[in-house]
């Protein structure tokens, strides 16, 4: 939530900052702002609405040339998304400009204190108090780095702060606690960003920062300390993707591009994770085989789409390993005082690696001595850094706010984990594991088949443009697919959509069925006779009550034909792997319907890509 950019070097700061904000806009798009240092004073501009509004404002009234600056794209927490509440915020004498991502929890007390001392605060934000505090600290002597350290020691909550001091055009200073920040290391220039997309155009060398650290960048140097000023070290890494991955590449939306990247993303997620003979090798699982054998319970924590990946994982993990597996929303987890021991494996699934709810869940789990394994897409992010082990999903940057390739590769990582546990614990024979691995290797080609058939789904979307409500039904591993189909439609098309386990219909939801209500039905493969047949009965029941059925069923499954108003064939895969193919038409459908309705697919209203506040 919120995108932050900082720059010092030789280029025009306004260009670097605006370009960085464009690449980070998916993190928040309520308002945007920029500040640069111009001959001992701060020049800044900020505008409510999308970045385009700010760009227009600075095209009409250009900012002065400067080689140092910062910028922000906002997802509002404190105060409405208007011009005044937009960042940057300035100190009382306009000496300091500061941007912030997160929530300062003790801001009310600090605001009272500032007002008692004669400060005039212009906005409703928690951020402005940090700008005033840093400036007040500078007035007491010292430099921006030490002022930032002092102020951070007083702040509670989650924050990434980036600041500049009009009287010191050599440095940009930033700090982080519980919110993301990375440094981009260039030649004669350095960068700060909420993630590497902010500076990927200029450098792929990055520095990951730890918790409670302050970083000072100048043209030629990067210095890291803790909040007490003691020297600290960041972790350097090379970003393994480049600018092309952060561009739309001819697609209308990042989301559509990311849907079509899924065959490659899934192949990359599988790459190097098994031998030719199908023996799993997950080098990043830094928990010993002995410890994995002692695991007596798995708890998956995640939010939103990632939680649905966890629901799919539960079916696979319990089936392959016979270890009880629960799936829980991260934000519910720690508040129910869960029973955890050192033999509990907590699996945190997070595309961004920054979701505050999931981060707090794993901190709680580690505090109770459970082992934590992260499944994550973002190198250098906080959740894997604070976990005992990590399986990276290797999907490449996901920029569309609605998760697509992130979801598929999370499921792949979960399957790999389940098979690895089965291998280590001997709950499946080697040839059984190898046979699942062979099926997984075929998935990229299956997804491609689904994508090649996208016109069928696009035509369907055209016919459902005026739908007021859409339901999704599934059973077993198809149930989380139904939930995911509904979530995609809600967040992109803003229409009422709900996913149900088909068996639950008769316990209430069937009352919603009325003439022509569109219902997507994910039918399990025929191999699982009982499940398959029960799903067919459910389809018959809703059709008898007037529903318009859109049936996703295995190619060649003629039993469904009489009950399908629209039939979408799925490649033949084992039941447990069916979510990997069944979700593709649901992603395409939501993307296409939202496009037809004229919505911004990449930046749906009220949302932000990475939810860094609880």
Phi-psi region of 509 (alpha: psi -120 to 50; beta: other; left: phi over 0): alpha
Minimum gap (Å) between residue 398 Cβ and ligand F6R? 8
| Tokens matching residue 111 | 């605001």
- Pairing outcome for strands 3-8 and 190-193: antiparallel
Q: Which of 551, 535, 477 is nearest to 503 (CA)?
A: 535
How crowded is residue 30: how many other Cβ atoms within 10 Å of its Cβ? 21
Q: How far is CA 549 from CA 154, 470, 543, 560, in A?
A: 58, 10, 7, 11
Residue 133 or 611 having the CB closest to ligand F6R: 611
Per-residue x/- mask for ligand F6R, residues 490 to 529, rule CB under 6 A? -x--------------------------------------
The rounded radius of gyration (Å) of the Cα atoms in the chain is 25
Residue 402 or 573 having the CB closest to ligand F6R: 402
Minimum gap (Å) between residue 262 Cβ and ligand F6R? 14
CB 567 within 8 A of CB 536: no
d(CA 167, CA 41) in angstroms, rounded, equals: 7
Q: Which of 440, 434, 443 is nearest to 276 (CA)?
A: 434
Q: Which of 393, 271, 411 is nearest to 327 (CA)?
A: 411
Q: Please report whether residue 352 would count as binding ligand F6R according to CB under 6 A.
A: yes
Per-residue x/- mask for ligand F6R, residues 453 to 492, rule CB under 6 A? ----------------------------------x---x-
Q: Which stretch binds ligand F6R (CB under 6 A): 10-18, 60-68, 136-144, 350-358?
A: 350-358
Per-residue x/- mask for ligand F6R, residues 581 to 610, rule CB under 6 A? -----------------------------x
CB 303 within 8 A of CB 358: yes
Q: Please name the residue that has the structure tokens 């190198």.
A: 379
Q: How far is CA 360 from CA 28, 179, 393, in A?
A: 22, 12, 21
Residue 146 or 358 having the CB closest to ligand F6R: 358
Residue 208 or 491 having the CB closest to ligand F6R: 491
Chain residues 139-168 in contact with ligand F6R, contact rule CB under 6 A: none
Q: Which stretch binds ligand F6R (CB under 6 A): 84-92, 113-121, 266-274, 346-354?
A: 346-354
Q: Please name the residue that has the structure tokens 């009325």.
A: 514
CB 374 within 8 A of CB 353: yes
Q: Which of 498, 523, 522 is nearest to 511 (CA)?
A: 498
Q: Please name the residue that has the structure tokens 């649901």.
A: 586
d(CA 141, CA 143) in angstroms, rounded, equals: 7
Burial class (CB in 10 A: 0-12, 13-18, 19+), 593: buried
Contact residue for ligand F6R among 85, 123, 216, 305 (CB under 6 A) = 305
Q: Which stretch binds ligand F6R (CB under 6 A): 7-15, 34-42, 145-153, 351-359?
A: 351-359
d(CA 99, CA 87) in angstroms, rounded, equals: 6
Q: How many residues bind ligand F6R (CB under 6 A)?
A: 15
Residues making up the chain, counted from first to last: 614
Q: Which stretch binds ligand F6R (CB under 6 A): 58-66, 177-185, 188-196, 298-306?
A: 298-306
Contact residue for ligand F6R among 351, 382, 587, 595 (CB under 6 A) = 351
How crowded is residue 54: how many other Cβ atoms within 10 Å of its Cβ? 25
d(CA 352, CA 241) in angstroms, rounded, equals: 16
Residue 379 or 610 having the CB closest to ligand F6R: 610
Q: Please report whether residue 203 would count as binding ligand F6R according to CB under 6 A.
A: no
Q: Which stretch binds ligand F6R (CB under 6 A): 46-54, 297-305, 512-520, 538-546?
A: 297-305
Q: Which stretch binds ligand F6R (CB under 6 A): 101-109, 347-355, 508-516, 545-553?
A: 347-355
Contact residue for ligand F6R among 127, 350, 393, 595 (CB under 6 A) = 350
How crowded is residue 614: how many other Cβ atoms within 10 Å of its Cβ? 14
| Tokens matching residue 78 | 């404190």
| Tokens matching residue 433 | 């594991």
d(CA 275, CA 304) in angstroms, rounded, equals: 33
Q: Please report whether residue 355 would count as binding ligand F6R according to CB under 6 A.
A: yes
Minimum gap (Å) between residue 267 Cβ and ligand F6R? 21
- E strand or H helix at 457, and its extent? helix 454-463
Contact residue for ligand F6R among 9, 169, 304, 474 (CB under 6 A) = 304
Q: Which residue of the chain is nearest ligand F6R when measured via CB?
A: 304
Residue 44 or 403 having the CB closest to ligand F6R: 403
Q: SS3 for 390?
A: strand
Contact residue for ligand F6R among 402, 470, 550, 553 (CB under 6 A) = 402
Q: Which of 240, 223, 233, 222 is nearest to 186 (CA)?
A: 222
Catalytic one of 2, 152, 376, 414: 2
Minimum gap (Å) between residue 413 Cβ and ligand F6R? 12
Minimum gap (Å) between residue 83 Cβ and ligand F6R? 28
Residue 125 or 409 having the CB closest to ligand F6R: 409
Residue 36 or 362 having the CB closest to ligand F6R: 362
Minimum gap (Å) between residue 584 Cβ and ligand F6R? 15
Q: Please report whether residue 358 would count as binding ligand F6R according to CB under 6 A.
A: yes
| Tokens matching residue 106 | 């003790």
Minimum gap (Å) between residue 464 Cβ and ligand F6R? 20
Minimum gap (Å) between residue 485 Cβ and ligand F6R? 11
Q: Does the annotation mark 490 as catalytic?
A: no
Q: SS3 for 302?
A: strand
Catalytic one of 314, 428, 488, 609: 609
CB 441 within 8 A of CB 270: yes
Contact residue for ligand F6R among 149, 262, 306, 578 (CB under 6 A) = 306
Q: Does the annotation mark 521 as catalytic?
A: no
Residue 278 or 397 having the CB closest to ligand F6R: 397
Residue 90 or 401 having the CB closest to ligand F6R: 401
Residue 186 or 304 having the CB closest to ligand F6R: 304
Contact residue for ligand F6R among 21, 200, 408, 611 (CB under 6 A) = 611
Using CB under 6 A, list all residues that contact ligand F6R.
Answer: 303-306, 350-352, 355, 358, 402-403, 487, 491, 610-611
Catalytic residue set: 2, 609
């Amino acid at each position: 939530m919120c995108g932050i950019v900082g720059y010092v070097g030789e280029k025009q700061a306004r260009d670097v900052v605006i370009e960085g904000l464009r690449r980070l806009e998916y993190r928040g798009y309520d308002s945007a702002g920029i500040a640069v240092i111009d001959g001992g004073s701060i020049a800044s501009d900020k505008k409510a609405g999308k970045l385009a509004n700010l760009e227009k404002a600075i095209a009409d009234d250009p900012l002065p040339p400067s080689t140092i600056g910062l910028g922000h794209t906002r997802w509002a927490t404190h105060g409405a998304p208007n011009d005044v509440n937009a960042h940057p915020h300035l100190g009382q004498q306009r000496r300091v400009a500061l941007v912030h991502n997160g929530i300062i929890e003790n801001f009310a007390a600090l605001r009272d204190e500032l007002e008692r001392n004669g400060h005039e605060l212009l906005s409703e934000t928690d951020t402005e108090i940090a700008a005033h505090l840093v400036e007040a600290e500078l007035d007491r002597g010292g430099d921006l780095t030490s002022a930032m350290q002092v102020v951070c020691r007083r702040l509670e909550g989650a924050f990434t702060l980036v600041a500049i001091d009009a009287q010191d055009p050599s440095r940009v200073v930033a700090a982080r606690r519980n919110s993301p920040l990375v440094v981009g290391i260039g030649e004669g220039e350095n960068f700060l960003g909420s993630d590497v997309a902010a500076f990927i155009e200029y450098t792929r060398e990055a520095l990951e920062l730890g918790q409670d650290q302050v970083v000072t960048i100048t043209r030629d140097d990067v210095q890291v300390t803790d909040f007490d000023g003691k020297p600290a070290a960041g972790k350097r890494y090379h970003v393994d993707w480049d600018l092309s991955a952060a561009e739309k590449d001819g697609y209308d939306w990042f989301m559509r591009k990311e849907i079509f990247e899924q065959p490659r993303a899934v192949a990359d997620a599988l790459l190097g994770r098994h031998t030719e003979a199908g023996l799993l090798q997950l080098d990043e699982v830094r928990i010993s085989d002995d410890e994995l054998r002692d695991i007596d319970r798995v708890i998956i924590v995640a939010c939103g789409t990632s939680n649905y990946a966890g629901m799919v994982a539960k079916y696979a993990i319990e089936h392959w390993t016979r270890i009880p597996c629960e799936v829980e929303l991260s934000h519910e987890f720690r508040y129910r005082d869960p029973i955890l021991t050192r033999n509990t494996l907590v699996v945190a699934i997070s595309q961004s690696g920054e979701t505050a709810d999931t981060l707090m869940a794993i901190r709680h789990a580690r505090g109770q001595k459970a082992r934590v394994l992260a499944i994550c897409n973002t190198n250098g992010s906080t959740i894997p850094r604070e976990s005992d082990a990590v399986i990276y999903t290797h999907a490449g940057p996901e920029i569309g706010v609605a998760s697509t390739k992130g979801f598929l590769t999370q499921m792949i990582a979960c399957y790999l984990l389940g098979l690895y546990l089965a291998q280590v614990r001997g709950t499946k024979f080697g040839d059984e594991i190898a046979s699942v691995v062979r099926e997984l290797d075929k998935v990229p080609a299956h997804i491609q088949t689904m994508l090649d058939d996208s016109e069928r789904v696009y035509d369907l979307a055209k016919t459902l443009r005026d739908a007021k409500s859409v339901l999704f039904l599934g059973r077993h591993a198809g149930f989380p697919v139904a939930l995911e189909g509904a979530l995609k439609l809600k967040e992109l098309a803003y229409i009422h959509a709900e996913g149900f386990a088909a068996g639950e219909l008769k316990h209430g939801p069937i009352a919603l069925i009325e003439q022509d209500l569109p219902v997507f039905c994910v039918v399990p493969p025929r191999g699982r006779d009982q499940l398959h047949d029960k799903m067919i009965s459910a389809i018959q029941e809703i059709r008898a009550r007037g529903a318009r059925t859109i049936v996703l069923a295995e190619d060649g499954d003629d039993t469904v034909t009489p009950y399908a108003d629209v039939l979408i064939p799925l490649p033949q895969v084992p039941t447990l792997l069916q979510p990997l193919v069944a979700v593709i038409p649901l992603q395409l459908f939501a993307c296409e319907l939202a496009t037809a309705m004229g919505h911004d697919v990449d930046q749906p209203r009220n949302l932000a890509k990475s939810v860094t506040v609880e």
